[in-house]
Amino acid sequence: MENEKKTVRRFVFKLLKVYWKRELLAAVLVGVMIALAVVFPLLIRLLIDVVIPSGDMDLLVKYVLLVVGLWFGSLIFTYFGEVVFETTALMAKSDLRKQLLEKMFVLPFDYFHKNKTGELVSRLISDLELVGTVIAQIFPILLLGVVQISAILAIMFAFNWKLTLLPVGFIVFSFLVLMFFNIMVEKRSKVEREKFGELAGVTSNIIDNMKLIRIAMPFSWVTNFFDRFQGDHVYAGKRFIKAIKIAGVLKTSINGLISFSLLAYGGYLVMKGEITVGILITFWAYVQSLFNPIQLLMQVNILLRQSWGGLLRTIEVLEAPE
């Protein structure tokens, strides 16, 4: 398992180097998105604690216009960021598909005896869809998630370290639980991809021999033969889905726990006079902002685990001895 992880990391980092210019552009866009996400809760606090109590209507109008302008700017940078991510995924899949095809030109004949046509077609099409998405999203999302979480937690600690310990504790706990389930998901992803490749191989063979099947008419035998492989894939797919959905449930539950605990303990601190209502609302806004990078990181984790089998199968072809 450890060797598999090293192999996947080496493969992913090697591909990231090819698209370093686009990744750099993505990093700039992500940086702007992070700055805007961090600024918004501070503006909310100033609005509640400073602007509204001042009673200055002109200041309120200017402040609202500023917030709307920043919000509009955030939409623009988010749009361009999404475009860069998706076009990079398209380029990665195109380049990898060409590399796999060129690699097959020089592989020995024994390789094609061991691997059926449908199996190889599934690697060229289905697996590459997963691999390309991973390559396009893993770097920008990791950068966005790690930097934004660090910046938000730093500001929250500056306001009130006691209140900040709640979301930090839940994040650490969810990370540890997620690491435990990742091992199971990786294994099941690998099995699901293998069964899919076998099913694709059987389907391809049936289509290639369709004329003979129509003449001999062994329909029931072919159907039973196909059902056996399809049943194996469905069984592996169900086990994989059950494992991968755990991460989704964890993501939803951690958000609710953080919000409830923050408002409960924050309300207690407001009653004691240790923080203002504006700071509590700012904390709540920061926690909502915190959910976005946490969800993105969990999304990357789910995407990586879903693609684990596809990554290994793609690497297997590219690194096969000639």
Q: Would you state the pLDDT for residue 55?
A: 79
pLDDT at 311 over 80: no
Structure tokens at 159: 């306001």
For residue 70, which of 39, 29, 34, 30 has the smallest C-alpha distance?
39
Residue 292 scores a pLDDT above 80: no
197: containing domain: 2-318
Number of domains making up the chain: 1
- pLDDT-derived band at 12 (thresholds 50, 70, 90) equals confident
pTM: 0.57
Confidence of residue 214 (pLDDT cuts 50, 70, 90): low
| 122 pLDDT above the threshold of 60 | no
Check residue 183 and give its pLDDT: 72
> What letters, b where the CB count within 10 A reaches 16 and e where it falls short, cover 84-116?
bbeebbebbbebbbeebeeebeeeeeeeeeebb
Whether 1 shows a pLDDT value over 60: the answer reads no
> How far, in Å, CA of 311 to CA of 305, rounded?
10
The tens digit of pLDDT for each residue in 192-209 reads 777 877 777 777 777 777
| 252 pLDDT above the threshold of 70 | no
DSSP state of 274: S
Which CATH number does the domain housing residue 141 bear? 1.20.1560.10
Residue 225 exposure: Cα atoms within 13 Å on the Cβ side: 12
For residues 204 and 208, give the distance between their C-alpha atoms in angstroms, rounded to a whole number: 6
Residue 130 — pLDDT band, cuts 50, 70, 90?
low
pLDDT in tens, 262-272: 778 888 888 88
What is the predicted pLDDT for the residue at 99?
77
